[in-house]
Structure 1
Amino acid sequence: MQHLVLLASLVSLCSGSGDWCYPSQFTCEHHCNTPEMWSHTSTVCAGKFQSPVNVVTRKTLLDQRLTPFQFSNYQQTFRGTVKNNGHSVQVGVNHLATVMGGDLVTGYKAVQLHLHWGQNGGPGSEHTIDGEQYPMELHIVHMKQQYSDLSVALSDPSGVAVLGFFYEESRSTNRKYDSIVNALRSITHPNSNTSLPPISLEQLIPSRQNLTSYYRYQGSLTTPGCTESVIWTLFHSTIPLSKEQLQAFSDLRFHNGKPMGGNFRPPQPLNGRLVYHSGAASVLASAALLWAAAGLTLGLSRAN
């Protein structure tokens, strides 16, 4: 707590006009606007429908329209370019991969993916579930198929759909991520990029049968300009990465040379927004409660 107070004091003493940044890259030598001051960069960042949020599962509402998604060309391989953009790792999607269903108003095509992570494998997801922060979060950004430019799609209140996935630390290495993790060595410095071996979106996410359980809410981009035109989907099923794989992302550098980690925006107020869950999500929650009750009963019987 004292560390946070000290950081806030430094920010107030040292801050000035400049680019936006994360607290983990703030220094008095590098004047930049940390998340609580992003509205200085873009006034929309102080809006009422901002992302990310903390999902309180007991307050989510069942929406029967949140049916399973239909993924098209997610299994198709493509040769993408991975880039250190100074704030994150980003991969452009240069082939037609689309998602439909899940109460989306139309089909959306994948544009790019990027990640947010903690320092040295520590907590780093942007969204949290009942206050729990995961080590890393993947965002696959889609825009309505009718658009050819993301900036144009962002002018449509439902122009962008982002699929969010959480990572968890695993004892074993996830070989499906070898190509991305290995490429990190070539993009240590900001604005550097390198070509990836053929990969598919499908290999980076949980299997389709595990993608029926998810949360949904209306929000924004999680970086300036914080445009409020994003339909968010957050999946229950997590992606495993080893501790070494998670830590590899912290070998990258921000623009000011500091290790890239903690590149997440804190949860924002819901301001009356509702978060919905799919039917499969309620089944999982009920199953979890059932198992918890069974465990408690078993524990009590053993105690007696």
Structure 2
Amino acid sequence: MAEKNIPLEVTLDTESDISKDVSNIVSAIADEEAVLPSPIDINVNNTEQLELPALEWQNYELLPVKIKLTNTGDTVILTAKYADDEHPSIKGGSLDGRYVFAQIHFHWGNTAAEGSLHTIDGAPLPLEMHVVHFNSQYEALDEALKHVGGVLCLVYFFALKSSPNTFLDPVLSNLKDVAFPDVVIKLTPFPVVNLFHIFTNDYFLYWGSTKSESRSHPMLWMISRTQECIDFHQLTQFRVLLDQRMRVISREQTPIADRENRHVFHVNPVTPCCNWTLSPLPHPKYRKDRWLVDRMDIDIGAPGGCREFIEALRREMQGRKSQCETTEE
């Protein structure tokens, strides 16, 4: 099944400002759909393609003044303090204004077969990372959580690989020091973008909400199709963390909410027809010393992708054969 175009009910009045500016389509449905519960299952065949202006990322490469790592008893949170006017932020796309970086936290499971908050094609992934931002019109995240459009959550899924992800070392190497609940430690500052990747296209977008004990919090979810990487040993390090009862944090899968006819957009897809909900290719930062399938810029799930891969594999093997023959001479 191919991805759908924007349905007529979104644009309604062809003479309205909304229909003339696709960037307003997402905000036009916010009040109605931001009250619907999250998480949901993401399937590329059930998304609607949408072309939006590119996202603009600012200051993510800068070094924070300080970084803290906290065991909340439910998860581990990374926060960072920046000098004035140096806070990382994101704008563009469908965003109404500038969204400022607030924190990073993780969702993992009791085994490597579960862990993610959202599911992909009906199945969980081993780890999900949330990079939380709040609209700059609010002073802090707590205030922004009360308002529709106040919070943006970037979602990154992690795929199990045979090699460790060294970019995670600043967090994973310190988890044992925050094993007990409510413990806070300072880390040697590093650019927070080392933990994830910047993207301007090929992502999913939808409105939903999360619940605390007291109220529901509306949220805009932005999900990268490109996965981050982690190996099995690194994944198990999250299981040293203890909850408030001094037991290993036990993660039960949050019930997946019904989509309830909400819109899930596939923004600026790299190809008009995708067979994979998540890209099988890792981010370029992982490709340098990996197998051909991890190094090439070919979407195997796209039309003709398999043929391109076979041709690239043949060229690779021919090059290695020629190199061996030259060495023997």
- Normalised-by-shorter TM-score class: 0.7 to 0.9
**2:242 paired residue among 245, 253, 276:** 253
Structure number having the greater helix percentage: 1
Equivalents in 2 of 1:76, 1:111: separation in Å?
A: 15
Give the 3 Å change call, closer, same or farther, for CA 72–131 of structure 1 in structure 2.
same
**1:75 paired residue among 51, 56, 61:** 61
What is the match of residue 154 of structure 2? Answer: 163
Q: How many residues align?
A: 248
Q: Deviations over 1:168-196 (max 9, x none)?
A: 11111111111100110101111012111
Q: Tell whether the 8 Å contact from 2:113 to 2:124 is kept in structure 1 after alignment.
A: no
What is the match of residue 132 of structure 2? Answer: 141
What is the match of residue 106 of structure 1? Answer: 97
Report 1:170-249 matches (<5 A). 170-206=161-197, 208=198, 211-221=200-210, 223-225=212-214, 227-249=216-238
3-state DSSP class of the match of 1:164?
strand
Q: Deviations over 1:204-230 (max 9, x none)?
A: 113x3x552110001113654563421
Equivalents in 2 of 1:257, 1:197: separation in Å?
A: 27
CA RMSD of aligned residues (A): 2.4
Q: Tell whether the 8 Å contact from 1:88 to 1:263 is kept in structure 2 after alignment.
A: no
What is the match of residue 267 of structure 2? Answer: 278
Give the 3 Å change call, closer, same or farther, for CA 54–173 of structure 1 in structure 2.
same
3-state DSSP class of the match of 2:236?
helix
2:102 is the alignment partner of 1:123: no
- Segments of 5+ residues of structure 2 without an aligned counterpart are 1-33, 276-298, 309-329
Larger Rg: 2
What percent of counterpart residues are identical? Answer: 24
Q: Deviations over 1:229-276 (max 9, x none)?
A: 211101011111111111100111111222124255232122221100
Measured after TM superposition, the shift of residue 56 of structure 1 is 2.2
Equivalents in 2 of 1:232, 1:272: separation in Å?
A: 16
Equivalents in 2 of 1:247, 1:284: separation in Å?
A: 36
3-state DSSP class of the match of 1:151?
helix
Q: Tell whether the 8 Å contact from 1:116 to 1:126 is kept in structure 2 after alignment.
A: yes
Give the 3 Å change call, closer, same or farther, for CA 175–211 of structure 1 in structure 2.
farther
What is the match of residue 48 of structure 2? Answer: 61
Q: Tell whether the 8 Å contact from 2:125 to 2:159 is kept in structure 1 after alignment.
A: yes
Give the 3 Å change call, closer, same or farther, for CA 278–162 of structure 1 in structure 2.
same
Q: Deviations over 1:106-160 (max 9, x none)?
A: 1100111111001243310111121131111111111111211222212221111
Give the 3 Å change call, closer, same or farther, for CA 281–260 of structure 1 in structure 2.
farther
**Which amino acid is 1:80 matched to?**
I
3-state DSSP class of the match of 2:256?
coil
What is the match of residue 266 of structure 1? Answer: 255
Which has the higher mean CA deviation after the structures are superposed, 115-124 or 187-196?
115-124
**Higher relative contact order (Cα pairs below 8 Å, separated by 6+ residues):** 1
Equivalents in 2 of 1:277, 1:116: separation in Å?
A: 23
Equivalents in 2 of 1:229, 1:59: separation in Å?
A: 22
3-state DSSP class of the match of 1:262?
coil
When normalised by structure 2's length, the TM-score is: 0.69
**1:84 paired residue among 63, 71, 76:** 71
Equivalents in 1 of 2:51, 2:131: separation in Å?
A: 24
Q: Tell whether the 8 Å contact from 2:211 to 2:217 is kept in structure 1 after alignment.
A: no
Give the 3 Å change call, closer, same or farther, for CA 132–284 of structure 1 in structure 2.
farther
3-state DSSP class of the match of 2:116?
coil
Give the 3 Å change call, closer, same or farther, for CA 263–188 of structure 1 in structure 2.
farther
Equivalents in 1 of 2:74, 2:55: separation in Å?
A: 30
What is the match of residue 5 of structure 2? Answer: none
- Segments of 5+ residues of structure 1 without an aligned counterpart are 1-46, 296-304
Q: Deviations over 1:12-44 (max 9, x none)?
A: xxxxxxxxxxxxxxxxxxxxxxxxxxxxxxxxx
